[in-house]
Amino acid sequence: MPFEITEQLIEQITGLILNQDDEALLKLLENEHHADIAEVLEDLNLEEATYIIKLLDSDLTSEILMEMDEDDREKILQNLSEKEIAKELDELDTDDAADMIAELPEDRQQKVISNIEDKEHKADIQELLKYDENSAGGLMAKELVKVYDNWNVLKCVREMRAQAEFVTRVHSIYVVNENNQLEGRLSLKDLLTTSTKTPISEVYIPKVDYVNVHDSAEDVARVMQKYDLEAIPVVDDNMHLLGRITIDDIVDVIKEEADKDYQMAAGISQDIEADDTLWQHSRARLPWLFLGLFGGVGAAAIMGGFEEMINKHAVLFFFTPLIGAMAGNVGVQASAIIVQSIANSDLKGSIANRLFKEFSLAMVNGLALSIILFSFTWFWKKEILTSLAISISLFVVIIVAGIIGTFIPLFLHKQKIDPAIATGPFITTSNDIFGILIYFSIAKMLLGI
């Protein structure tokens, strides 16, 4: 792509803002894509960004604002009047407009809404604000092209010309009956290849995928991905056509879900980005570190209970980080596979099957690793019993860690709790404690005191 943000470009823009050279700024920016301008704005300071938003046309700035980071957008909106915000909303599709309003402080929301000029647009946005943001209703837009089943192709094309003016992208044409109940769909391709006198009732496809307005965003994403859909109609419990969801919004849902699971696995509990503030990062990371600290203290307390072994078998204590780390790694591997399979809904078989498979795998991996560890410890200390105790413990710990890592996310999923929280520090910490406890118990059994 030809567009690239350079330091030079940013300097040029800040210079033009400083000189209030509006004409040159307009010339420079008005033909660029809103996504590119949004990137430029994120490199400017708040005053400069606001300056440009106030300067450019609202059909462009509304799209720019929607493209920006939520935090940055929020700050700019604070600098705009309710009337100015309403003007941006007039240009946006209903779904984006509702999203933008929902981010405003409550006292501003009503003032902004009352400033929206287009009455139908206003009513549509108010309807969308009623739905949960993680539901189909929260994702859908009211803009769509629909035709009635008693029209013919010619009337259809004529009416669609009018409707299409207000719809950014035409994907499918939905066919409804006189009660606005979804009956089927019509592809643009069919319209292109059918004679104009054909009644719609003869050409429409009655089999149409749809989602209920209360379905979760994840379910919508799953259906659209599975059936490779680019848009899906949204209906209420009585099949009344309410809106439609397009694939670009679903791409965002998929990306956010994946990012969230990834962060969770890395022990980051809130949705943060590299550029967020120190405090946001600290808040997102500290809880899991506390958990880790708690686990480490637990492990220390357990070791304190076996303190009498330290004189004769000091070497045992040298291998506790190894035991802890291996228990953690095996647990994370096992849980990640389960969490990912659940997220992609391609998990088959019973819990017992899963556990048996993980058990077999842990046997194989555990055996390989234990043999290596035995060779090393024997070579180092030449104490066969200690070496045996350490390597047998590792073997058992790997099996237990694998089973815990498999069982916990499956259990949470059954309890309708997001299994992703069971990955990362949670598994690492619990496996640390279990691992150390098993390790010293086995060692004590084999070695006496």
Range 117-176, binding a second copy (CB under 8 A): 157, 160-161, 164-165, 167, 169-170
Residues 328, 331, 335, 337: what is their CA dihedral angle, to the nearest 10 degrees? 100
Q: Are 122 and 116 in contact (CB under 8 A)?
A: yes
Which lies closer to a second copy via its Cβ, residue 21 or residue 70? 70
Tell the residue number behind the tokens 């994702």, with chain if given: 139
357 lies in the site for a second copy, by CB under 8 A: yes
206 lies in the site for a second copy, by CB under 8 A: no
347 lies in the site for a second copy, by CB under 8 A: yes
Q: How many residues bind to a second copy according to rule CB under 8 A?
A: 114
* Residue 251 CB, nearest approach to a second copy (Å): 6
Which lies closer to a second copy via its Cβ, residue 123 or residue 293? 293
The CA distance from 316 to 3, in Å, is 60
Span from 10-18, 106-114, 126-134, 327-335 in contact with a second copy (CB under 8 A): 327-335
x/- track of binding to a second copy for residues 63-102 (CB under 8 A): ----------------------------------------
* Residue 427 CB, nearest approach to a second copy (Å): 10
* Residue 110 CB, nearest approach to a second copy (Å): 30
Q: Which residues contact 421 (CB under 8 A, 6 or more apart)?
A: 264, 412
**From edge to edge, which strands make up the β-sheet containing 211-212?**
211-212, 231-235, 241-246
273 lies in the site for a second copy, by CB under 8 A: yes
Burial 114-147 (b: 16+ CB within 10 A, else e): ebbeeeebbebbebbbebeeebbbbbbbbbbbbb
375 lies in the site for a second copy, by CB under 8 A: no
Locate 408 and state its tokens: 């916990």
Residue in 24, 35, 123, 351 binding a second copy, rule: CB under 8 A: 35
**Terminal CA-CA length for the chain:** 70
Residue in 152, 333, 393, 430 binding a second copy, rule: CB under 8 A: 333
Which lies closer to a second copy via its Cβ, residue 108 or residue 357? 357
The CA distance from 208 to 180, in Å, is 15
Residue in 138, 184, 233, 424 binding a second copy, rule: CB under 8 A: 424
441 lies in the site for a second copy, by CB under 8 A: no
Of 230, 273, 265, 276, nearest in space to 249 by CA: 230
Which lies closer to a second copy via its Cβ, residue 89 or residue 401? 401
Distance of CA 61 to the CA centre of its chain: 26
Span from 71-79, 118-126, 127-135, 311-319 in contact with a second copy (CB under 8 A): 311-319
321 lies in the site for a second copy, by CB under 8 A: yes
User: For the chain, how many helices (H) and strands (E)?
Assistant: 22, 6
The helix/strand/coil state of 131 is: coil
288 lies in the site for a second copy, by CB under 8 A: yes
409 lies in the site for a second copy, by CB under 8 A: no
